[in-house]
Amino acid sequence: MTWVSDYKYAWYEKLAMNVIRSGGHLPDHIAFVMDGNRRYATMAGIPKIDGHTRGFEKLAECLRWCLDMGVKEVTTFAFSIENFKRSKDEVDDLLCLAREKFTKLLQERAKLHDYGVRVRIIGNLSLLPEDLQFLMAEVMMETQKNNKLFLNVAFAYTSRDEITQAIETVITQEDHVLEESDINEHLLEQCLYTRFSTPPDLLVRTSGESRISDFLMWQLKYTILYFIKVFWPEITLWNFLAGIFSYQRASVRLEPFKRRQNTAEYAIITKTNSLELDRVQAFLKHLDMCKTEFLIKLRDKYLKPV
């Protein structure tokens, strides 16, 4: 199964998409909590891993819909750190499925380049088996120049861990570039896994659960939340479009507030003195270099012949 589906639209589906587009106020960034794979498997009388496999197939369809609706960024909650608490057999099956899908992604790299999809893995990669880390590093390096659709896959991720890692990054700086006065909300935000992402405009969660489950808690300040009472493998184009319509209705009221808040935040940043800005920029530049070197080392180890 490909990462981007060759979904065939019926004429009335194309019409519905055009109607939604004509309304304007489309989300640039959609986050998905892909919940309900196991319950779907139980309902369908199939093994749990088959439920997760069908969930991946549905993700491929959603990516197709997002591309065709002009969505620029998608973030998916694929594997929580809390998932390690499940049975060993289920965890092993999920990690094997991830290996299979990332290997498939590398095999169809030409298609991803054609679509302009850049894949970024957000999460604590050190918690994963080395061979899976290598695959993920290769995927990120392979697609790093694509810029039509950014796909952030949250794997071995929780918001609590993300914020903890950001704080540790600041307090364990090697060259002590930063001063105490440099440490603030803006700096911590730049140290999150989502440093190069915009905040989600719309978050969609399936399965009928109306909670966030420790996902992107820092980033959801202005996000519209949309909960669907179907399991993830059952989500349809109509559910997807209904979520966008819900965002359009809410964004009309939210946009003026967001503009005021963004203006206030920009004013705070501009008041920062140039010396402080230089220190912060030097720190972030070093941080980016370290992350890139880490990915290159992982990739080279993966590609190195035995």
Catalytic annotation, pick one of 26, 29, 35, 151: 35
Distance CA 137, CA 143 (A): 10
End-to-end CA distance of the chain: give it in Å, rounded: 29
Catalytic annotation, pick one of 29, 52, 67, 187: 52
Cβ neighbors of 216 (< 8 A, separation 6 or more) are 31, 75, 154, 159, 194, 200, 203, 223
- Give bridge partners of residue 226 from the DSSP assignment: 204
Question: What is the maximal distance between C-alpha atoms in the chain?
Answer: 63
Sheet holding 224-227, edge to edge: 117-122, 149-157, 73-80, 29-33, 202-205, 224-227
**Does the annotation count 182 as an active-site position?**
no
**Does the annotation count 300 as an active-site position?**
no
Neighbours of 87 (CB within 10 A): 9
Q: Which two tokens stand for residue 131?
A: 């061979």
Q: Which two tokens stand for residue 227?
A: 């909960």
Strand pairing class (149-157; 73-80): parallel
Sign of the alpha-carbon torsion through 21, 25, 26, 32: negative
Catalytic annotation, pick one of 59, 135, 149, 295: 149
**Does the annotation count 35 as an active-site position?**
yes
> Which residues have a catalytic role annotated?
35, 52, 149
